[in-house]
Structure 1
Amino acid sequence: MSEIIENTDSVSELESNESKHEKKEEYAYLEKGGFSSEKFKIELRGLPKFYGIVELKKLMNEKLGLNASKIKRPRVSSNWLFACFQNEEERNKAITALNGYSWKGKTLTAEEAKPAPDPLVRKRKQGNSNDAQDKKKKEMENKSQEERLKDATTPYWNIPYEEQLKIKEKEIRQLLMKYDNEMWIKNFNKRSEIEAKRKLHNGLSFDLLGIKGSPVTEGYRNKCEFTVGYDEENQLTVGFRLGAYATGTICVGPVAELNHISDAMKEAVILFQDFVRKSNLPPFSPADYSGHWKGLTVRHSSFSNEIMLIVLMHPQDLSQEELDKIKKDLIDFFSTEEAVTCGIKSLYFELVTKRKSGEEPSKAVHLMGATHIVDSILGLQFRVSPEAFFQVNTAAANILYQSAIEMSEVKSDSTVVDICCGTGTIGLSFAKHCNKVLGLEMVPEAVKDAKANAELNGVTNCEFFTGKAEDILPSVLARAASDVVAIVDPPRAGLHMRAITQLRNAYRVKRLIYISCSPASAVKNFVDLSRQCSKTLRGAPFVPVRHMIVDMFPHTKHVELAVLFEREKIPDTSGNVELPEGYNDYAYF
């Protein structure tokens, strides 16, 4: 009997050791090379219903003197998230500062969070188990690599285009209905007015003009960022990931059958793939941070048929002499007749390593050819640099910008303030319809491009300024005439709350066009633009008047949404504008 017990204990001890080994393996990535944001993170709970990541970072880093390097939100909207730090001291400081802190009427709680297990290890363990896989996983396993890549990059690839447009319009309508309801909740004294408007606009208190399809649905992207890795047959490939690392996927699939990439871009990818395969260097591995080749960014102008390549590489321990040799080999390879025939006019090289908080991002180094390529929107030409923001679907951008001009009702004596102007594409498109354009952009290189684009097109009524919108908007608005139309085309996360406040309090801004590539993220900005006056938002609200959808991204779930807001007018008995309570002269910039 004692022998059986001893054997049982041995089995239990063996199973326990195996479990400990598996658990250790799941977290081995924390001790490998490179910094992981999972190592020093906290869980922050009790957040208010409406807040922005930018304003949360401002609270943490500027007001409380913390040093958050990354914010990780759950996929489903919730009142909690993870905040990551560089070391244990910074994490502990954050817990002390945030736990019990009152923000927007809510009391926050902060505590240390455990790192997530390595998804690759977890997936391997699941693969070795005998547990039944769920239906979705089995369906994925039965699909070919090509089908899974299409599902990952262009999920609507097998849906007729007209049906895609109907799906997208329905989804945006549902999103706007939630926004409309939020306005009803926030503006108690306007509920009857909102309800009356809903009867006129098919359930919404504003016009929804419907969706405009892209004139080009195949090979429409003028910019793509490709990954270097191994496909499922262990062949070195330049393409797209079959799934996210978080799902345990690092395999890369080839792009030959994807319908949103042009043939010229595919040829350039294959050329670079040949170069990488002939080199003696392996691709970078996100699993253990080894390897060198990371990616390839390709920009392709349908106007000039020019191609720009930006090669991305991790240097690891390569010497400067070895890096110089790689650069020379790239120049020689892409100077061949085959590369020239493909349309490659510009080549850049960029070293990419893990950045620490506060570090400047790496810069691409020009190797050969032109420093820019040229593309065109609404008859204007624009030079495109490696870092420049340029709408990825040039044909649909023509529709988007022309529609924005028409929606704005801009006049010959109007001043257009282009916020987040990038390289000036929107502002320059407005220039011939107004008196003056004032552009704001925080990226200095983009402002240089905007000025160069104005000169290239002979446009003389545009000025561009460098700085954050929330910092320089008042001084720029001081240069504006009485009739001001603001155009906002912010990054995916939307505008900083301070910029929204500046717009609300700048009463000379009568109309506002808000363009968003992520309508779900922009809804918070919409709510703040249209909420009733307060001590902070002193200026009269902006009222949503018209919404229009442009399908900038065929075969995907994404769209561009353009919204026309008009400043609410509160006339008194004499016919003059009555200022809302709490509004003062400082609101007139």
Structure 2
Amino acid sequence: MHNENTSGNEEKVSRDDNGVATQENSTVNEEYAYLDRGGFSSERFKIELRGLPKFYGIAELKKLMNQKLGLSTSKIKRPKNGSHWLYACFQNNEDRTKAINALNGYVWKGKTLIAEEAKPAPDPLVKRKLEEDSNVQRKKKKEDEGKSQEERLKDAVIPFWNVSYEEQLKRKENEIRKTLMHYENEVWKVFKNRRKEIEANRKIYNGLSFELKLIQKSPVTEGYRNKSEFTVGIDEETQKPTVGFRLGSYVTGTVGVAPIHMLKHIPEETKKAVSIFQDFVRSSDLAPYSPADYTGYWRYLTVRQSTYSGELMVIVSMYPQELSSEELEKLKTQLIECFSTEDSKACGIRSLYFHLLTKKRVGDEDSKATHLMGPTHITDSILGLKFRISPEAFFQINTACAELLYSSAIELSRATADSTVLDICCGTGTIGLCFAKHVNKVLGLEIIPEAVKDAKANAAENGVTNCDFFTGKAEDILPSVLARATGDDIIAIVDPPRAGLHMRAITTLRNAVSVRRIVYVSCHAAAATRNLTDLARPATKTLRGPPFRPAVALPLDMFPHTPHLELVLLLEREAPAVQEKKSDDSEKMESSTIETENETEPENKEESVQ
């Protein structure tokens, strides 16, 4: 899964999909994530209208706004009858600005109206979940009483640290089966006419209508992480500046950072790099950054490690505050000296980047990391191919297991020399390039321009000539890239971010009948359920192509000692002759999903996401 952008003021530490305690933005990001999930939402362009008369009707107000004042109101929301304020939503920012200018100060029925921009409504489902999570946090805090700092950190970062590996695999198999059965329930709702067939298959596949293979073990279970991001803060036990993981969140009153030397999923060379930088921070005149009052400087240390060459890339991130350009240049020199010592060379540090953070609040801009020392990239290898890795590049966290993942995807896809692979969300081209020698053509799509540059460079480095890579959002450029595909056996490889593919991309895949199979890769299967359901639902006026049925699911333990895993799911296109007539229920479900393309409303999500 590719990295995600976050926004918001509050930060927390939690386990990421790869099992590491990370600094994520909390409620602000999660409650409003629906705005960035794709599709239009009038919640983006909302105003609050106050000072309304005691007696008025919505029809009267609409007439005033749309006919008399020439506004383009999308909808009006009144909390309750008789309220002296309400929300009005618009299609774009220009219409909203026009409305504010027209309504603010306007006298209507003897009352002077006040019109101002309004914040979008939070997603009620996410808000409720966050409240539940808060209760869990309180319960966990109680459970943590009496535990050592080391135990609390292990529980947060690698919660299976005291569970045997065989037991870990059993737990993960049980969880992925539960997740897939939830997906099965969604399919059951859609395919009323296929229920007998589904039931028959469930008897064969132990409750599922398709094959769930045994979870594949990770070839490496310790020191497997090739990338980790650490926080700089104060250790609550020693009161010293420490480079490690935060134990809690600012909103729950915890900002302490614990050391990471006892965590078994982090390589020893990475731990040594952390220790070297920690010594540098402790000897520095500059304090660690404080999320409590936005003071301080040192923020993060990111370490990327090549399992192929042993090279390490370190990225130091800090808030410059009021430091002058001269002081920053001096710091750069000191950092170069720090990471050029014999100890640094001994643990494999070759590349150094310096990242000035300016993004403290929503809307602030952030800078890119500046290269200070050594090569601009490090190189790793998967299935005999070499891949260059830049600071921002996506690369599977567990390199050894990534080889297993990609070889399994190739096998499941049934690719031939005549196939064309459509690598959606291709990143730096790793999976597409691994497919290249098995197929006729690979076409990759990626939103990050730097990643596309890396993908092209990786193709050239490995002498691969049958791959092309394109920059843009999948939902925007997928039709034009599909037009370049030749033959009638197209295999789509989908490895999207957590939020999944935009509905327009799903629609394009459904309507392109030459796409015969989809290999869907996900590190968060529950989040992928919506995409999988849309790919499987019966044909409609919008989803014209035959649906995709799940055929085989293969879980892989990409993240030992954590609850997370990677799932590869093969979806096969249903033969046109087998399609059932569209039922009233499928019409309703289609409108529920397509609604997210035209109007994504948090109030309606309870029906469409369950």
> Do the structures match in fold with TM over 0.5?
yes
Alpha-carbon distance in structure 2 between the residues aligned to 1:535 and 1:222 = 46
Deviation at 1:487, TM superposition (A): 0.2
Alpha-carbon distance in structure 2 between the residues aligned to 1:112 and 1:409 = 44
- Inter-CA distance 275–169: structure 2 relative to 1 (3 Å threshold): same
Deviation at 1:161, TM superposition (A): 0.5
| SS of the residue 1:473 aligns to | helix
Mapping 1:420-459, distance limit 5 Å = 420-459=425-464
Deviation at 1:535, TM superposition (A): 2.1
Alpha-carbon distance in structure 1 between the residues aligned to 2:213 and 2:149 = 39
| SS of the residue 1:289 aligns to | coil
Partner of 2:516: 510
Alpha-carbon distance in structure 1 between the residues aligned to 2:30 and 2:465 = 51
Mapping 1:541-552, distance limit 5 Å = 541-552=547-558
Alpha carbons 1:570, 1:579 under 8 Å: kept: no
Q: Which of residues 354, 365, 368 is equivalent to 1:363? A: 368
Q: Which of residues 60, 69, 88 is equivalent to 2:41? A: 60
Alpha carbons 1:95, 1:112 under 8 Å: kept: no
| Pair 1:533 & 2:539 matched | yes
| SS of the residue 1:212 aligns to | coil
Deviation at 1:42, TM superposition (A): 13
Alpha-carbon distance in structure 2 between the residues aligned to 1:94 and 1:402 = 56
Deviation at 1:112, TM superposition (A): 9.4
Partner of 2:232: 228
Alpha carbons 2:247, 2:255 under 8 Å: kept: yes
Alpha-carbon distance in structure 1 between the residues aligned to 2:30 and 2:440 = 51
Question: Could you say which structure has the greater relative contact order, defined with CA pairs below 8 angstroms and 6 or more residues apart?
Answer: 2
Deviation at 1:64, TM superposition (A): 5.6
Mapping 1:375-524, distance limit 5 Å = 375-481=380-486, 482-524=488-530
Partner of 2:597: none
Q: Which of residues 203, 208, 221 is equivalent to 1:217? A: 221
Mapping 1:255-274, distance limit 5 Å = 255-274=260-279
| SS of the residue 1:210 aligns to | coil
Aligned residue type for 2:319: H
| SS of the residue 1:503 aligns to | helix
| SS of the residue 1:142 aligns to | coil
Deviation at 1:316, TM superposition (A): 1.0
Alpha carbons 2:44, 2:120 under 8 Å: kept: no
| SS of the residue 1:151 aligns to | helix
- Inter-CA distance 95–161: structure 2 relative to 1 (3 Å threshold): farther
Deviation at 1:468, TM superposition (A): 0.5
| SS of the residue 1:159 aligns to | coil
Aligned residue type for 1:529: L
Alpha carbons 1:570, 1:578 under 8 Å: kept: no
- Inter-CA distance 306–526: structure 2 relative to 1 (3 Å threshold): same
Partner of 2:89: 97
| SS of the residue 2:40 aligns to | helix
Q: Which of residues 544, 562, 567 is equivalent to 2:568? A: 562
- Inter-CA distance 186–222: structure 2 relative to 1 (3 Å threshold): same
- Inter-CA distance 558–453: structure 2 relative to 1 (3 Å threshold): same
Alpha carbons 2:46, 2:88 under 8 Å: kept: no
Partner of 1:170: 174
| Pair 1:326 & 2:346 matched | no
Alpha carbons 1:60, 1:66 under 8 Å: kept: no
- Inter-CA distance 110–284: structure 2 relative to 1 (3 Å threshold): closer
Q: Per-residue CA shift, 1:366-420, capped at 9, x if unaligned?
A: 0010100000111111000000000000000011000000000000010000000
Alpha carbons 2:538, 2:582 under 8 Å: kept: no
| SS of the residue 2:291 aligns to | coil
| SS of the residue 2:215 aligns to | strand
Aligned residue type for 1:247: T
Alpha-carbon distance in structure 1 between the residues aligned to 2:529 and 2:401 = 23
| SS of the residue 2:41 aligns to | helix
Aligned residue type for 2:151: E
Q: Per-residue CA shift, 1:433-475, capped at 9, x if unaligned?
A: 0001000001000000000000111111100000110000011
Alpha-carbon distance in structure 1 between the residues aligned to 2:476 and 2:192 = 32
Alpha-carbon distance in structure 1 between the residues aligned to 2:30 and 2:231 = 31
Alpha-carbon distance in structure 2 between the residues aligned to 1:41 and 1:196 = 43
Q: Which of residues 295, 300, 307 is equivalent to 1:302? A: 307
Q: Per-residue CA shift, 1:321-379, capped at 9, x if unaligned?
A: 11111111101211122211121010000011226666654211000101000001111
Alpha-carbon distance in structure 1 between the residues aligned to 2:250 and 2:157 = 15
Deviation at 1:192, TM superposition (A): 1.8
Aligned residue type for 1:543: R
Aligned residue type for 2:350: K
Partner of 1:354: 359
Deviates more, 1:451-460 or 1:360-369: 360-369
Relative to the length of structure 1, the TM-score reads 0.77
Relative to the length of structure 2, the TM-score reads 0.75
Alpha carbons 2:398, 2:558 under 8 Å: kept: yes
Alpha carbons 2:38, 2:502 under 8 Å: kept: no
Deviation at 1:38, TM superposition (A): 10
| SS of the residue 2:576 aligns to | coil
Deviation at 1:302, TM superposition (A): 1.2
- Inter-CA distance 510–135: structure 2 relative to 1 (3 Å threshold): closer
Q: Per-residue CA shift, 1:142-171, capped at 9, x if unaligned?
A: 111111110110000000001000000100
Alpha carbons 1:55, 1:496 under 8 Å: kept: no
Mapping 1:32-51, distance limit 5 Å = none
Alpha carbons 1:485, 1:511 under 8 Å: kept: yes
Alpha-carbon distance in structure 2 between the residues aligned to 1:145 and 1:228 = 17
In structure 1, list runs of 5 or more residues that go unmatched: 1-27, 30-36, 45-51, 68-92, 100-108, 124-132, 583-589
Aligned residue type for 2:88: T
- Inter-CA distance 379–111: structure 2 relative to 1 (3 Å threshold): closer
- Inter-CA distance 531–143: structure 2 relative to 1 (3 Å threshold): same
- Inter-CA distance 434–358: structure 2 relative to 1 (3 Å threshold): farther
- Inter-CA distance 318–172: structure 2 relative to 1 (3 Å threshold): same
Alpha carbons 1:95, 1:110 under 8 Å: kept: no
What is the total number of aligned residue pairs between the two structures?
A: 486
Alpha-carbon distance in structure 2 between the residues aligned to 1:273 and 1:41 = 30
Partner of 1:4: none
Aligned residue type for 2:516: K
Alpha-carbon distance in structure 1 between the residues aligned to 2:120 and 2:304 = 43
| Pair 1:150 & 2:157 matched | no
Alpha-carbon distance in structure 1 between the residues aligned to 2:147 and 2:433 = 47
Alpha carbons 2:240, 2:282 under 8 Å: kept: no
Mapping 1:182-197, distance limit 5 Å = 182-197=186-201
Percent of residue pairs identical: 60
Alpha-carbon distance in structure 2 between the residues aligned to 1:184 and 1:353 = 49
Partner of 2:58: none
| Pair 1:141 & 2:145 matched | yes
Q: Per-residue CA shift, 1:41-90, capped at 9, x if unaligned?
A: 9999xxxxxxx8266664237x96469xxxxxxxxxxxxxxxxxxxxxxx
Alpha-carbon distance in structure 1 between the residues aligned to 2:398 and 2:331 = 33
Could you list the runs of 4 or more consecutive aligned residues of structure 1 that deviate by over 3 angstroms after TM superposition? 37-44, 54-58, 63-67, 109-113, 133-139, 355-361, 577-582
Alpha carbons 2:232, 2:242 under 8 Å: kept: yes
Alpha carbons 2:45, 2:90 under 8 Å: kept: no
Deviates more, 1:189-198 or 1:224-233: 189-198
- Inter-CA distance 360–189: structure 2 relative to 1 (3 Å threshold): farther
